[in-house]
Amino acid sequence: MRRRDLAGLAAALAAAPAPWHDGASAQGPQAGGGGSEERLVLDLKDGPVTIQLLPDVAPKHVERIKTLARRGFYDGTPFHRVIEGFMAQGGDPTGTGTGGSDLPNLPAEFTNRYRFIRGICGMARTSDPNSANSQFYLMFAPAPSLDGQYTIWGRVVSGMEAVDKIKRGDPARNGVVQNPDKIIRARIAGA
């Protein structure tokens, strides 16, 4: 390939939207700000995971994540449901998938600007779209069926290798994990 062709290809790639984003926002991967207050760090057994929060997409959900992290709510909570090739779900202090915080449920903040692909963080909920509370999941792989149906509040920007090492659940039991891995600590970077 000639140098001019390479320069054209580089320019086209730079202008293309990130695969998790449809390009509607000129802010791209740093949407929601790049400051430390917009980053959540999950300390896992295999290392820290840094998540870029997206308050421009889901302000109420991001505020909830921050509030609970500052309270220490997520510290020691298990990844109770982990499905290979799909996601790891946590944020339930009971470890049963039925628990949540003492705060009220949140209204849905669905978007079509972002897609559920590897590294995206979404809020878990019941069949009621306005039932998200504290549970969330980290995507191992794309899941287009979730797009526009669940709230996206962040994306992993470093430490995905630690997410990949989260203990998997039993496929015959919808991913329920026996002796699950836990979040050692959840904190807002810089806080």
Instruction: Parse the chain into domains and list their residue ranges.
Output: 32-188
Specify the pTM.
Answer: 0.83
Residues in the chain with pLDDT values less than 70:
1-36, 191
CATH 1.20.140.160 fits 32-188, yes or no: no
The pLDDT of residue 21: 53
Length of the chain, in residues: 191
Contacts of 190 (CB under 8 A, 6+ apart): 35, 36, 37, 39
Q: Residue 177: name the closest of 72, 92, 113 by CA.
A: 92
User: Residue 17: what pLDDT?
Assistant: 41
* Confidence at residue 37, expressed as pLDDT on a 0 to 100 scale: 76
For residue 10, the surrounding DSSP H or E stretch is helix 3-15
